[in-house]
A and B are shown apart, each in its own frame.
Chain A
């Protein structure tokens, strides 16, 4: 009996939603009751969900015979994994357990969106996407998106709790938000450059003022504005964090808002809605 891939994928998706929900509940319960064990359990649940998400991606990769980053649905399975990577890195480096409920909520949002808009089938990769740049370009970008999501969460936390300092490291949310931006911005730069080089190989131009490219530039410029603003006297703290948090809007729009643009119909990057 063949276990159908679609059934397997649905099962994995539902398990993932359950795991992330459990991570949130454990964190809330642990924080409210001040029980460290529950928060630790929440972290491990999150890590398990991340591993399961990895299984989901590998399964689809094997089923498709290509990297599963072609359609909106496929990236919606990948985005939570990237949020997971960024979260686990920050957990390992700075013990920022406070990120768990936010990251899990973002994962749930992405996975629920994926479940609401599933692909009808695994589509073939068109010739333009059959390139060595496909995987590094997309992976770099989504890692950037994951890190920048965390910078957004941390910036909001920095605005809400400017005085908070980590017991272990003595750092506040602002420093962590800045760290996430540095990581995300570096990945964004590498991603946009890889995209440009790939564009040159595939379509003859490294920059064509295509809407997705333009919004990638807008996101990049938004974080560049943040990086410069932060160095101006009087603009650290809440003001810089507000710029940091609002820059994430450009990322979200770049990822999901392209089909709203009147110029998108000619774009090569816009995810076609099935």
Chain B
């Protein structure tokens, strides 16, 4: 009898071979035996890889080795069989697979040889390689263990006559594993895995094969049909802006806390400097506008706040301040009108007079600190003697630009944005020198002016005066509107009593507010509900003092300890779905439209297509994994078998047994 027994004598083992007690196996010796077998498999694997390509690996030699192994097995068939179907063997074999699997997670797998050696050193790396540990799961030895497992399971099922009705759970469990292993085997022989890199509009007719470590190979496999990427889209969740505290941790920053906008309205301590913050408001599409408010006597200025609508329907809000140069007028290009604001009529300076533009050359002796003398000159006309030198203005450039290719200056536009002149200077008794003078940048490099010969020169541009086509002046004190054409007063009317009416004919602006003594206040608003320019308005409290701050999304605000920062930003990982809309193209014709997304692969033509990657910087790109696995139905069948087997073995069978016993009783 064998040295094994079952807990339940009712289901004793059916032993078909008479086994001598001397050959009976115990766990300890069985584990040792499995160890020896595993070592032999490792050695065989290494011998095989060493012999590959040499005469030793000829088909004849392989057949001979196989026959030798079979012969040995035949000679020792009884003890071998007894061992293979024994429980101690199963324990030993499962233990060996367990140990190998664990090793395969502790040692880096499938690394390039240099990286592997760099990680473990020459000695360890060599030792690991000698036993196939650099790639456990694809090694000869591991596959050998799997084969041994399948063999042992098959023998066990046969030995226990698993086809009997009473053994259905046992057989489902044990044969289930065989079926899964068979599925894996089929998959590894006739399955394949590849990748398609594709852009919108392109058609893929083949895929790049990948090796077992998922690395691309140089081999391309034709699909037999085409796959056209019609559209690739990334669906995102609506942005959820939150206030994060980032803490410096080593070299980088890591989020230490995150609060939603509702939560963040309560005071929260943050950082190590005893500061607290709270959210006052969040603006999805932030804009700082100015509002006009009445000011205490003597502090403000007369203000006119206007709202104008341009030809495209955009609303512009602006404020005119009387008596403040540059802020007392606005230009309406559509009606070529200047709208001015004055509090009293006496302050208006509009005349029909014209004055030409002037080019002033300023000069003094080089090296002196005296005042510049001035001379008005006309470009291209005449010469003048300035400080002893003969000076001529050769050309004028309203909007100067230097072309480094031709080494000449030119004007980009007729607008006097960057006025410059080309001058010719001839000192007494010397040769003439040509150079440029710039109104905006006197003597580039030397702020005092350009030095040519013994002169230091500057250039000033005075624009000519020309009355505007139309000036519309709002007089605040009398609430009148004066309409000037080319500097001549043509019409005088009252400011509309109804503030929603236009100020004057042809000027698409209305008065929002007018005040004799007002000040401007900056008011944050949001232009829209879209998160285009998100800004959080927060209050920061430090040692009892509360300060208001505007925190632009993504801009860190230091919390005073040099380690923590407050950041207003959206919650990361907002991608809801990656989707490739594809058309299957067969014989030049699109035959079906499909959508591939994560967790929803497309099955077609024996392949499965998976949404696998995308490129942030290349939104029309989609990476599609292609998998062919003819072993899948077998593997799934095996899965079902072991699930049913486990439930049956542990719950159904005992329950049925109990019921039968009760019936008998």
Contact = CB atoms under 8 A, between A and B. Distances in A.
B255 to A, nearest CB: 5
B608 interface: yes
A211 B105 contact: yes
A207 B102 contact: no
Nearest to A232: B87
Interface string B560-581: 0000000000011111111000
Nearest to A239: B27
A228 B105 contact: no
Interface string B626-650: 0100001001100100110011001
Contacts of A204: 193, 601, 608, 610, 612, 625, 627
A221 B94 CA distance: 6
Interface stretch (B4-12, B348-356, B454-462): B4-12
B242 A224 contact: no
Given A127-B598, A193-B642, A224-B94, A263 B105 contact: yes
B617 to A, nearest CB: 20
Interface stretch (A50-58, A78-86, A153-161, A183-191): A183-191
Contacts of B523: none
A120 B576 contact: no
Interface stretch (B257-265, B305-313, B418-426): B257-265
A207 B643 contact: no
B347 interface: no
B598 A128 contact: yes
B190 to A, nearest CB: 15
B651 interface: yes
A228 B4 contact: no
Interface in A195-219: 196-197, 200-207, 209, 211, 214-215, 217-218
Interface residues of A, number: 52
B242 A131 contact: no
Contacts of B411: none
Given A120-B256, A127-B575, A231 B6 contact: yes
Nearest to B254: A274
Contact of A196 (B102, B137, B639, B647): B639
Given A200-B632, A209-B109, A225-B94, A232 B88 contact: yes
Nearest to B648: A186
Given A121-B258, A230-B7, A261 B27 contact: no
Contacts of B87: 228-229, 231-232
Contact of A185 (B258, B599, B646): B646
B101 interface: yes
B610 A203 contact: yes
Contacts of B255: 120-121, 274
Contact of A190 (B608, B635, B636, B643): B643
Contacts of A207: 184
Nearest to B626: A204
Interface string B213-257: 000000000000000000000000100001010000000001111
Contacts of B263: 2, 4-6
Nearest to B578: A127
Contact of B4 (A211, A232, A236): A232
A206 B94 CA distance: 21
B338 interface: no
A262 interface: yes
Contact of A229 (B27, B193, B237, B642): B27
Interface in B528-570: none
Contacts of A183: 650
Contact of B643 (A121, A189, A202, A231): A189
B107 to A, nearest CB: 8
Interface in B66-90: 87-88, 90
B581 to A, nearest CB: 16
Given A218-B98, A228-B94, A261-B105, A121 B642 contact: no
Nearest to A219: B98
B574 A124 contact: yes
A259 to B, nearest CB: 12
B106 interface: yes
Interface residues of B, number: 66
Interface in B1-45: 3-7, 27
Interface string B387-430: 00000000000000000000000000000000000000000000
B452 interface: no
Interface in A1-51: 2, 4-6
A186 B101 contact: no
Contacts of B525: none
Contacts of A232: 4, 27, 87-88, 91
A214 B578 contact: no
Contacts of B203: none
A168 to B, nearest CB: 18
Given A2-B263, A218-B101, A236-B7, A127 B576 contact: yes
A64 B158 CA distance: 53
A233 B3 contact: yes
Interface in B564-614: 571-578, 597-601, 608, 610, 612
Given A127-B578, A186-B650, A217 B94 contact: no
Which of A4, A121, A183 gathers the greatest number of chain B CB atoms within 10 Å? A121
Contact of A201 (B109, B244, B599): B599
Nearest to B597: A127
B274 interface: no
Nearest to A264: B105
A201 B601 contact: yes
Nearest to A129: B599
A170 interface: no
A263 B91 contact: no
Given A120-B255, A120-B256, A123-B573, A206 B635 contact: yes
B6 A131 contact: no
A73 to B, nearest CB: 13
A206 B631 CA distance: 11
Contact of B102 (A121, A218, A231): A218
Contacts of A105: none
B97 interface: yes
B600 to A, nearest CB: 8
B108 interface: yes
A178 to B, nearest CB: 9
Interface in A167-187: 182-183, 185-186
B109 to A, nearest CB: 6
Interface string B278-297: 00000000000000000000
B104 A214 contact: yes
Which of A185, A189, A232, A233 gathers the greatest number of chain B CB atoms within 10 Å? A232
B463 interface: no
B647 A186 contact: yes
A66 B316 CA distance: 45
A124 B193 CA distance: 30
B425 to A, nearest CB: 70
Nearest to A119: B258
B98 A130 contact: no
A96 interface: no
Contacts of A4: 262-263, 266
A46 to B, nearest CB: 26
Given A126-B575, A131-B599, A186-B647, 12 more contacts: A126-B573, A127-B578, A127-B597, A189-B642, A201-B601, A203-B610, A205-B193, A206-B632, A218-B101, A228-B87, A228-B91, A229-B27
Interface of B: 3-7, 27, 87-88, 90-91, 94-95, 97-98, 101-102, 104-109, 119, 137, 184, 193, 237, 242, 244, 254-258, 260, 262-263, 266, 571-578, 597-601, 608, 610, 612, 625, 627, 632, 635-636, 639, 642-643, 646-647, 650-651
13 contacts: A120-B258, A124-B573, A126-B573, A127-B577, A189-B642, A190-B643, A202-B610, A204-B612, A209-B104, A217-B98, A225-B91, A262-B108, A263-B104
Top 8 nearest A-B pairs (CB, nearest first) are: A121-B258, A127-B598, A182-B650, A221-B98, A204-B627, A193-B639, A211-B105, A131-B599
